[in-house]
Chains A and B, each alone.
Chain A
């Protein structure tokens, strides 16, 4: 008993809300300092959001999606298509959330009864199907030409084409995802997802329905990603299948989360910044060769930090707070 209290006293944890506030405020300073690099900041932050959403299913529930471009695309196209009919982007986003949620629900209901890599394979297939639909159904998506945004209504008097406005909207999106991550850490859903990730049979023995837990995470992931897709459209001003619906987008989303550290709340955010900034620099300095550097970086992380950057850091912290002689066995 006394050992237990001394151990908890030894823990130096920052309260979640304080940590979240520090992170969000720090990122919020970016436009004030790097005002000339707004595009870089927005893309990194946006992909951080995509990766954070991916992590709900990929990190917490251990189901790897390699098709999240689908939800990015649905989010972007919903806003763009409805925009043509004079419907404001926020309503378009709501429609995107609904469509993504429904698609994830149907898709997950079909695939989550299978175990292992079947789900991942299905994500690649569905992503390709949706890309081909967007490419060929001209009446809906304008095919390979894609959709352009003309003018946009103002949101509470804010210009949605202003890069700073866009940055803070994306930051709001990321902050919501981080807050959701903190909630998951202590909530029943988060515990159930981790149980399913670790061992489905054990999870069932504790009264957890694995298919339902995974489905919930999948629907949430799809809906969150779709919001990001809508924001991406506002930032790009246009959308076409080759930008939003291609496999590299899906892969990048997954990699940022894996490299940063899956299931760690902040991992995907860290991954996006640590990979995003150098890859942009390499792209301008090295042109085509940047992909090589990018690839080497990924291999290094996977070999030396299999739990990702934040995951490895947390492990180090755990070992420091629980020295071996006190841990025993």
Chain B
């Protein structure tokens, strides 16, 4: 097993934001995470990547990583993107990705070259010397992914990288994510667009009110009464 989380709980004051959620992930697998707004998907991401306190157990290839601070995880091979892209606005595209490259590269030249290679991979090479604040949404998303990829992860958490893009950009991103999985990276992705998650995921987990209410193949999830109830039961915004 590449990545495994058992009985994850996150509590904010008296509110149980995530309640007893478990998940597993294999190499090259895409695990979709869906659920209405406020279901706890992003909180689960933050818990699994060390950004919020949790109880339960998280393992990476059998190694316990539950209590590691967030900055220790990239070195071990766990990377994430943020739902609202957070590039370092004042730096150029190349500088942003170079920061990530330094995790695996020791000298400045190697880090720069690795960053250029990553930019080429996500199709941002022609923007290398531009400041991030000038990029449009689609390119900011690709930059966010480039920053995570330059860490050379084995597990990648993608938090809504497709929603908001126009249809051609969506199609490109879907193909790109599929390619990442083919290269062996295990991917957990939160996405709101049902069509996307259903076509891209090998497996889907549906959350509502902080709990896992269903898990299965996209076909099983699409017909699951609990899922339909969660989405149509009036708690969506």
A residues apposed to B, CB below 8 Å:
1, 3-4, 7-8, 11, 186-188, 191-192, 194-195, 198-199, 201-210, 318, 322, 327, 329
- CB distance A199 to B88 under 8 Å? yes
Report whether B70 and A205 are in contact in the complex, using a CB–CB cutoff of 8 Å. Answer: yes
B121 at the interface (CB under 8 A from A): no
Report whether B86 and A191 are in contact in the complex, using a CB–CB cutoff of 8 Å: no
Given contacts A192-B99, A195-B88, contact A1 B125 (CB under 8 A): yes
With A7-B129, A191-B102, A210-B71 as known contacts, state yes or no: A201 contacts B86, CB within 8 Å: yes
A-B contact pairs, 9 of them (CB 8 A): A7-B129, A195-B88, A198-B89, A198-B91, A199-B86, A203-B99, A208-B71, A327-B134, A329-B135
Check if B69 is an interface residue, CB within 8 A of chain A: yes
Which of the listed residues A195, A205, A327 has the most CB atoms from chain B within 10 Å of its own CB? A205
- A3 near B126 (CB under 8 angstroms)? yes
Contacts of A327 in B (CB 8 A): 130, 134
Contact A204 B71 (CB under 8 A): yes
User: Beyond A7-B129, A322-B130, A329-B135, is A206–B82 a contact (Cβ under 8 Å)?
Assistant: no
How close is B127's CB to chain A, nearest CB, in angstroms? 8
Q: Does B28 contact A (CB under 8 A)?
A: no
Does B108 count as interface, using CB distance less than 8 angstroms? yes
Chain B residue, CB-CB nearest to A318? B131
B98 within 8 A of A: yes
Whether B29 is near chain A, meaning CB under 8 Å from some CB there, is no
| CB <8 Å contact, B126 and A4 | yes
B151 and A207 contact, CB distance less than 8 A: yes
Among residues of A, the one whose C-beta sits closest to the C-beta of B157 is: A205
Q: Point out the residue from A194, A201, A205 that lies within 8 Å of B79, measured CB to CB.
A: A205
**B contact residues vs A (CB 8 Å cutoff):** 49, 51, 69-75, 79-80, 82, 86-91, 95, 98-100, 102-103, 106, 108, 111, 125-126, 128-131, 134-136, 139, 147-148, 151
From residue B131, how far is it (CB to closest CB) to chain A in Å? 7
Select which of B49, B108, B125 is within 8 A of A205 by beta carbon. Answer: B49
Q: For the complex, give the distance between the alpha carbons of A204 and B75 in Å.
A: 11
With a cutoff of 8 Å between Cβ atoms, the chain A residues found around residue B136 in the complex are 329
Question: Which A residues lie within 8 Å of B126 (CB)?
Answer: 1, 3-4, 7
CA distance A3 to B108 in the complex (A): 24
Q: What are the 3 A-B residue pairs with the smallest beta carbon separation, nearest first?
A: A207-B74, A198-B88, A204-B71
Interface residue SS majority, chain A: helix
| Known pairs A4-B125, A194-B99, A322-B129 / 16 extra A-B pairs, C-beta < 8 Å | A1-B126, A188-B111, A191-B102, A194-B88, A198-B90, A203-B99, A204-B71, A205-B71, A206-B74, A207-B73, A207-B74, A207-B100, A208-B71, A208-B99, A209-B69, A322-B130
Taking CB atoms, residues of chain A closer than 8 Å to B103 are 206-207
Q: What chain A residues lie within 8 Å of B51 (beta carbons)?
A: 201, 204
Residues of A within 8 A of B108 (CB): 186-188
Q: Is the CB of A204 within 8 A of B147?
A: no
**What residues of chain A lie closer than 8 Å to B87, measured between beta carbons?**
202
Q: How far is the CA of A191 from the CA of B203 in the complex (A)?
A: 38
> For the complex, what is the distance from the CA of A204 to the CA of B148, rounded to whole Å?
12
What's the minimum C-beta distance from A9 to chain B, rounded to whole angstroms? 11
Given contacts A191-B102, A192-B102, contact A202 B125 (CB under 8 A): no
Q: Is the CB of B125 within 8 A of A206?
A: no
In the complex, what's the smallest C-beta–C-beta distance from A257 to chain B, in angstroms? 17
User: When chains A and B are docked, how far (Å) is the Cα of A79 from the Cα of B38?
Assistant: 62
Q: Is the CB of A205 within 8 A of B80?
A: yes
Q: A194-B88, A202-B86 are in contact. Are A329 and B151 (CB under 8 A)?
A: no
Q: Which residue of the partner chain, among B90, B99, B135, B139, contacts A206 with CB atoms under 8 Å?
A: B99
Residues in A with CB closer than 8 Å to B89 are: 198
Given A1-B125, A201-B51, A205-B82, residue A195 in contact with residue B99 (CB < 8 A): yes
* Contacting residues, chain B, for A199 (C-beta < 8 A): 86, 88
